[in-house]
Amino acid sequence: MMSAPLASHDALERAEIRAMSSPMATPELDEALAVDVAAKENLPWMCIVWDDPVNLMSYVVYVFQTILGFSKKRAIELMQQVHTEGKAVVSSGEKDKVEADVKKLHTAGLWATMQQGG
């Protein structure tokens, strides 16, 4: 009867030794992770306009010109990209600015989303 508790005690000691010898986070790894997170937080945000079956190409060009301030030539290029590739990045920068652009485009009836670059 005494052998069972002793065996259990030995198993517990071995488990404690394994736990103490397992790798732990080091300050260097923690700093690298912090730098990686900080770099990700500093990436610019992008406003993406998606192709939709509703809006005419001429209307999309008009919206790009009037709301985002693009020249007619650049607005046509971006509209063509949306039409042929299904989407185009139409603005980028700070999160607040891109959020405002997305909201304006939604108000105009376009399908727009935002995502952080990377």
Domain ranges of the chain: 3-40, 43-116
Model pLDDT for residues 33-70, shown as the tens digit of each residue = 555 554 567 799 999 999 999 999 999 999 999 999 99
First vs last Cα of the chain: how many Å apart? 63
> pTM of this prediction?
0.67
Which pLDDT band holds residue 117 (cuts at 50, 70, 90)? confident
Give the pLDDT confidence score for residue 70 in this predicted structure.
99
Give the pLDDT confidence score for residue 42 in this predicted structure.
79
CATH class of 43-116: alpha beta
Beta carbons of 64 and 70 less than 8 angstroms apart? yes
Tokens of 23: 């790798």
